[in-house]
C-alpha cells in the first residue's frame, strides 16, 4: 500500500509546533513484526528515513541536544499520520528518545493530538526504547515506562543485549516486550555462547511476563533455532524488508 502523493515532503499535523527547531525533513519506512503462532502481523515498526528513502543515519546524524525534543515529537506525529493514511490495522511501534521526554504526561500530548486528528487508535501504539541511548537517570526511564503503561501503551526495550545495560530498569519496571539485538542472533544455531545467553533471557522474560521479539533474523537456520525455543514474534529480512512509505506483506515460514 503506497503513500498518497500529497504526503511527501514537509507537512504539519496542524496541532502543534513540533517542527520548530528542525532544519531537515524526514519520512519513514515500515517493517512488520510477525506473530508466527497466529500467522499475522503483530505490529509495524516505523523506521526513520530520508525523504527519498535514505538510511536512518542520514537523519539521526543531524539530531543533537538542541533539536532532540522537536525531532522526537515530530517522529511520533509523522509516524501516526503516515500509518493512518496507509490504513494500518495492526499495532504501530514508534522509537522514542528517553532523553527527550521531560515529563511523560506532557510530552505525550502531541502524540494524542495527532492520533485524534488522524483517527488512529492509541491502544495500538507501542513505544520502543533503544538500549543504545545513554541515560544517566534510570529512575527517569522507569517513570516513563510506568507512565506510558498506565496510559494504556505497550513499551518495548529495543536492541536488548547490546549497548547499555538496562537490567536495573527491567527489575524496577519490566517492559511489555523485549527485542533481542541482532548481534545475539546472527548465526545463533552454531554458537553455544549465544545460545546460552538467549536461553537465559527467555527464562527471565517468562518469569517477568515479558514477551520476546527476535529482531534482525535473516536465515531459516536462525529462525528454526529461535522458534524451537518457543519464540513467536519475529522481525527481520527473512520475513520482509522495510517498505519506504508502505506496509510490506510479510513471508510466514513453515515450522
**Radius of gyration, CA atoms only, the chain:** 18
Supply the mean pLDDT for the chain.
86
pLDDT single digits (tens) 134-144: 555 678 788 88
pTM (two decimals):
0.87
pLDDT single digits (tens) 158-174: 888 775 557 888 889 99
Give me the domains of the chain, ranges plus CATH numbers: 5-244 (3.20.20.450)
- Check whether 201 has a pLDDT greater than 50: yes
Amino acid at each position: 500500500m503506497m503513500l498518497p502523493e500529497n504526503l511527501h515532503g514537509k507537512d504539519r499535523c496542524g496541532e502543534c509546533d513540533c517542527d520548530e527547531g528542525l532544519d531537515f525533513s524526514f519520512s519513514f519506512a515500515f517493517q512488520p513484526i510477525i506473530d508466527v503462532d497466529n500467522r499475522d502481523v503483530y505490529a509495524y515498526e516505523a523506521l526513520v528515513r530520508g525523504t527519498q528513502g535514505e538510511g536512518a543515519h542520514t537523519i539521526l546524524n543531524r539530531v543533537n541536544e538542541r533539536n532532540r525534543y522537536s525531532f522526537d515529537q515530530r517522529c511520533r506525529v509523522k509516524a501516526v499520520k503516515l500509518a493512518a493514511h496507509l490504513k494500518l490495522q495492526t499495532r504501530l511501534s514508534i522509537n522514542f528518545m528517553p532523553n527527550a521526554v521531560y515529563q511523560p504526561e506532557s510530552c505525550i500530548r502531541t502524540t494524542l493530538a495527532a492520533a485524534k486528528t488522524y483517527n488512529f487508535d492509541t491502544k495500538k501504539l507501542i513505544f520502543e526504547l533503544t538500549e543504545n541511548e545513554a541515560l544517566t537517570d534510570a529512575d527517569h526511564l522507569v517513570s516513563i515506562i510506568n507512565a506510558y503503561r498506565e496510559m494504556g501503551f505497550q513499551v518495548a526495550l529495543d536492541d536488548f543485549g547490546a549497548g547499555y545495560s538496562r537490567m536495573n530498569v527491567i527489575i524496577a519496571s519490566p517492559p511489555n516486550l523485549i527485542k533481542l539485538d541482532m548481534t545475539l542472533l546472527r548465526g545463533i544455531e552454531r554458537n553455544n555462547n549465544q545460545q546460552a545467553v538467549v536461553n537465559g533471557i527467555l527464562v527471565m522474560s517468562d518469569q517477568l511476563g515479558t514477551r520476546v521479539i527476535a529482531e534482525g533474523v535473516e536465515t531459516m537456520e536462525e529462525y528454526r533455532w529461535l522458534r524451537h525455543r518457543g519464540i513467536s514474534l519475529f522481525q527481520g529480512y527473512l520475513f520482509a524488508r522495510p517498505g519506504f512509505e508502505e506496509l510490506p506483506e510479510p513471508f510466514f515460514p513453515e515450522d
